[in-house]
Chains A and B, each alone.
Chain A
């Protein structure tokens, strides 16, 4: 049974990624990328990593995608963007990603109701083992990751700051 669910989720991931790289509109691409990440989350769940699947949904499909969407919306402000939004949100834009998401949802409901057991070739690694490894032998790497995130925050703040316009005082008016 793992076979069919895996192939469906993998097909959705590949189709959605192909749609991402062939879109002209960045918003449509982001929509498909969210679907692709959700499909990969289902694949991760099938490979005995439920904790990682949850992280994929929360951090990748949640936080990173929302960051990108906010950024894209920030770039085109103004009245045209509302009209553009209206043009973008036609049914033929959102119906295909929604269909793909519905297939994924059906698969998830099916897996949960089946009390799914992965095949013998796949060994389930429970979150406890991940936590023990993360805060045992990988402790230094976790701290370095914290420093990396700190560097990311400082870098984004520094780069994202608008340079204030310094006109000469005689040129001001």
Chain B
């Protein structure tokens, strides 16, 4: 939520600075009721936020501090005790090399897939912005359509396109002379997943960027054309800098999504043995919780992952923030 608000707030505070000071003064003289009103309006949100956000997070953190310990054979009612162990679950996750190989995998995935997807989304948005009105609707819908397919269904769909013997792609590649292309091999499977994600989310990201393009005042383009700028120049020199904040937004979403990669690899596990039970950090958490029946360890993985996501997405924002928003506020 906060990441979403950032660009808006920054823009607003500059323009509305003076006005808000005045308003604040006049409010001070208001009745008791006006002070209660904002609280009343916020209550439904705060309650839901607490129940569905703070409470589960708090419970996960609480769970991550416990460990179920067995003694002897572990048989019988008194052989198992759950006790407080402080941060020891965290230290065992952090010393687990399968956690780091999973993390390394999604980071590598993100470094390659996120820029590729965003580049594609930006190019598509720019093309759409300059296309004729009738085709615009058609393309906007067709680019966005894959996002309407649930992730699990998309993964099932693609798994059929990857499976040798069933896939038309594999057989076409073979008949053209590429030999037996294995989309589900130990090294290729990660990029096959990247392809699914790109297919799914490019249209969605394109739409955000496209919305950014729509917000640019037409007068800027007219002025540029009068100055003799070509369409390409308009795209590169005017549109691109002005939609930079939209691109940053989509990048943050994509980084978060990448670190939480789960359903696509989980679905593809049914067709290939090359996706291990700790392929991504989220898959590791799932394995700990629902296969190994160790919810405490799973909670620790989830908390570490959440912290990592937080640091990475805010770190990214910090790096690009100055550039992104100084351009916007020109």
**Do chains A and B interact in one complex?**
no
Residues of A within 8 A of B (CB): none
Residues of B within 8 A of A (CB): none
